Amino acid sequence: MPLRREIYRSIKDIPREEYLAGGTGLCGGCGGLLALRLFHKALGPNAVFVNAAGCLTLLAVFPFSPFRSSWLYTAMASAPAGAQGIRDALDVLIAKGRLAQEEDLEVVVVTGDGAAHGIGLQATLAAIHRGLDFYYFCYDNEAFANTGFQTSPASPRGSATATAPAGSPARKQDLFGLWRAAGPAFLATVSPAYPLDLMDKVARASRIPGPKLFVSLSACPPGWGVDPADSVEIAKLAVDTGVWPLKEMRDGEVVHTVVPHRTLPVEEYLRRQARYRHLFEPSRRDDVLRELQAEVDRYWATPPR
Amino acid sequence: MTRELLTGNAAAAWGARLSDVDYVPAYPITPQTEIIETLARWIADGALRARLVTMDSEHSMLTAAGAAAATGARVFTASSSQGLVYGFEMLYSVAGWRVPLVLVNVSRALASPITLEPDHNDVLAARDSGFLQLHAETCQEVLDSVLMAHRLAEHREVLLPAIVNLDGFHLSFTREPVDVPPPDAVRDFLPAYAPPSARFAASHATAQGVAVLGSSAYSFFKYQMQRAAEAALDVQATVADEFAARFGRRYGAVEACMLDDADYVVVMSNSFSTVGKAEVGRLRAAGERIGLLRLRLIRPFPHGEIARLLTGRRAVAVIDQNLSVGKGGILFAEVASALRGPGAPPLVSFVGGLGGRRFRSDEFDLIADRLRVAVTEGGSAEPHLLFSEAEHRQILDMLRLAGHAAPEA
């Protein structure tokens, strides 16, 4: 049973306030930036974003920051540890009366999939295990995109990257599942193509103390080989073909917040992206296409609960 | 003031407690662990109002330490050896954030081979990072240095993190009488940390640690760190004066021991200087005009003070308890860089004390001989690697036990 939206029921409920200004140095059509903008609207202005190396590191380049909130760049591996330090310092300073309660901030880790898997997973699982009261926003563009789109653990099987021109060899690592095993308070997948779903999840999470984690499938126009203007449409196709399930976990239970009709085959999502072109040209790879469709069908046959 | 028998680790913990630190991110490693255990106990007892969090690694520990300091907390942390180098990336990062946290490093030699006893390759690896470095000889100096390191690091003209170094085992687990100053007196010397404007709070958004594009901005910020470290030389002198006036113990950038009329000088650092002082005293009793210079402030490096104290001597030996493989002693090269022009003495280099290896008395006789030879034959950058016949025989026995034919002696 899909969740009923609680706060963001119509596009008119989205606040007009912008906390993340335009005109940044990021690529046109960046799905990560669009999702973060919506995320920030739902979170409100009193936040500090703790960043690990990745595309979004280029948001704050001296002497500019597009945020009306605060920012700390840490390193590739340890943004969740930076969040721990800020959260603890705010708590201690408020408890000791050296900082007013109204100066408190929401602490948000923001990384790509490259820093969320592998190098940064240890610090993340540790922060979840400690029950740190923080948000984690992962923009998953399915590669090390900032360095020119090399295969990451989040690259789907068959997707071409700069280090796997014939297609990434392994299945996409399940970040939702890895994070879930550590026992966070709240966990969700989101998509910039479903802004009400995204923002309602942030609103629900904001009432819960502890680790609150979000992973957004985020189209990368130069890496995926799509027109920047089609970024949202691609994101929508990922959800509607069942490739990117929208779900959340609260109290240990997973609920799918959007259940796609899946009237379109996965192929419709794949064929729009240059990173899958080798599955269609010079000859059609029906074997691989069937396997990729089967993976999605298997997921929806017994979705996690 | 109370006088107690404290290990070097307990003295470091007392330094943090008297500094009234707000936050202690931690990760255990021998021989440092007693420091964080002691602080954890005090925090649990309510004797120290701070939060201690055990992180997943030293890399995370240093990140949390820097982030908390950037938020306005007074931060203390501790590590050693493999831990320090595991967190190495963040030493540079947090120094660039210009946050005045204090890190105690309990020196321990680096793998491979893996071992537990001290030398200084760990802490000296951090010498270019932007951390200030104070190296302590005694447990008393450990406690005092933690207090002074907070004052120095938090000074508006400095705002750089600081490492206080003590030798593992020889200091960390050795009890010495330590004067523990009263908390009120320390509060007067080191008031609560008032962070500069760049800190995280809802009323003023700030971006810290941001990227730069282009070499000019990068160079500008790195040069600012150099200028701040240079300023720390003068600040350290002022802080040392004030500390001496309040607590009666004086710590210079270097310590001159029996130098007044010395023709020959040995340069050492950390706890093995105590052995060096005894040996220099023995040589003096036998008629040698020899003294010892102990390096205490390693960053910023006190070039001027070293030049003033060593220029005009007949010869100087630098004893390094570290090895820059392919170069020799690290502190030899640093001391040599301070000595140029007329009156610069010939220098000789000795490497010893690796992995906690004890210095032998006859090695100081050898050093005295080499100093005399250097007066006529000149110095050399070639390091003398101290190793005894007895040790060599012992290693050959071990090689045989391990099933290897002993190489020719």
Picking from B393, B53, B153, the residue whose alpha carbon sits closest to that of residue A87 is: B53
* Cβ–Cβ < 8 Å for B314, B264: yes
Give which of A286, A72, A106 is closest to A212, Cα–Cα.
A106
Q: B76 CA to chain A: closest CA distance, Å?
A: 12
pLDDT class of B347 with cuts at 50, 70, 90: very high
Alpha helices in B101-252 (DSSP H): 121-125, 139-154, 183-189, 215-247
The mean per-residue pLDDT over the stretch B170-175 comes to 97
Interface test with B, best of A43, A49, A59, A78 (most B CBs within 10 A): A78
Confidence class for position B408, pLDDT limits 50, 70, 90: low
Residues 6+ apart with CB under 8 A from B206: A70, A71, B197, B198, B199, B200
Per DSSP, the residues of B79-112 read E-HHHHHHTHHHHHHHHHTT---EEEEEE-PPSS
Give the pLDDT mean for B86-114.
98
Set of chain B residues whose Cβ sits within 8 Å of the Cβ of A132: none
**H-assigned helices in A144-262:** 175-181, 195-205, 231-240
Q: Find out whether B259 and B306 touch, Cβ atoms under 8 Å.
A: no
Omega of the bond prior to A221 within 30 degrees of 0, cis? no
Q: Is the pLDDT of residue B179 over 70?
A: yes
> Residue B197: pLDDT above 80?
no
Q: What residue of B is the nearest CA neighbor of A96?
A: B49
pLDDT tens-digit profile of B112-168? 999 999 999 999 999 999 999 999 999 999 999 999 999 999 999 999 999 999 999
CA distance A26 to B110: 42
End-to-end alpha carbon distance in chain B? 56
What would the mean pLDDT of B240-268 be, rounded to a whole number?
98
Question: Quick check: B64 and A91 CB within 8 A?
Answer: no
Judging contacts by C-beta atoms under 8 Å, the chain A residues touching residue B202 are 46, 102-105
Most A CBs within 10 Å, among B43, B63, B88, to test the A interface: B63
Closest Cβ–Cβ partner in B60, B206, B210 for A78: B60
- Residues of chain B contacting A71 with CB distance shorter than 8 Å: 206-210
Q: List chain B residues with CB under 8 Å of A85.
A: 23, 25, 63-71, 75
Q: Residue B269: its pLDDT value, please?
A: 98
User: pLDDT above 70 covers what percent of chain B?
Assistant: 99
| Contact assignment for B56 to A104 by CB distance below 8 Å | no
Determine whether the interchain pair B64/A122 forms a contact, defined as Cβ–Cβ distance below 8 Å.
no
**Closest Cα in chain B to A50:** B67
- Closest chain A C-alpha to B382 CA, distance in angstroms: 39
Smallest CA–CA distance from A91 into chain B, residue? B51
- B206: which chain A residues are within 8 Å (Cβ-Cβ)? 70-71
Q: How far apart are CA B378 and CA B177, in angstroms?
A: 43
A78 closest CB neighbour out of B22, B90, B200: B90
The pLDDT of residue B306 is: 98
Minimal Cα distance from A46: which residue of B?
A: B202
Which residue of A46, A67, A81 is in closest CB contact with B55?
Answer: A81
> Which residues in chain A land under pLDDT 70?
1-3
Instruction: Provide the 8-state DSSP code for A291.
Output: H
Rounded Cα distance, A110 and B289, in Å: 63
pLDDT reported for residue A12:
95
Nearest to A89 among B23, B55, B212 (CB): B23
DSSP B305-369: HHHHHHTT-SEEEEEESS-BTTTB-HHHHHHHHH--STTPPPEEEEE--GGGPPPPHHHHHHHHH
* Residue B405: per-residue pLDDT: 76
Query: Nearest chain B Cα to A49, which residue?
Result: B207
Structure tokens at B167: 């030798």
- Which ranges of A131-228 would DSSP assign to H, the alpha helix? 175-181, 195-205
The model's pTM is 0.97
Q: Which residue has the tokens 């420091």?
A: B35
Q: Which chain B residue has the Cα nearest residue A99?
A: B201
Q: With CB atoms and an 8 Å threshold, state whether B211 touches A58.
A: yes
Q: Are B202 and A102 inside 8 Å of each other by CB?
A: yes
Chain A partners of B22 at a C-beta cutoff of 8 Å?
89, 92-93, 96
pLDDT tens-digit readout, B45-82: 999 999 999 999 999 999 999 999 999 999 999 999 99
Average pLDDT (B9-26) is 98
Q: Percentage of chain B with pLDDT > 90?
A: 96
Please tell me the distance in Å from B323's CA to the nearest CA on chain A. Answer: 30
Q: Which residues contact A170 (CB under 8 A, 6 or more apart)?
A: A153, A155, A157
Residue A216 CA to its chain's centroid (Å): 3
Q: What confidence tens digit (pLDDT) does each residue in B276-324 have?
A: 999 999 999 999 999 999 999 999 999 999 999 999 999 999 999 999 9
Q: Is the dihedral of CA B110, B114, B118, B119 positive or negative?
A: negative
Q: What is the pLDDT of residue A2?
A: 56
Choose among B53, B93, B206: nearest Cβ to A88.
Answer: B53
The reply to whether residue B93 touches residue A75, judged by beta carbons under 8 angstroms, is yes
Q: Report the C-alpha gap between A155 and A139 in whole angstroms.
A: 13
- Closest-approach residue (CA) in chain B for A68: B205
The string over B261-271, giving b where at least 16 C-beta atoms fall within 10 Å of a residue's C-beta and e elsewhere, is: ebbbbbbbbbb
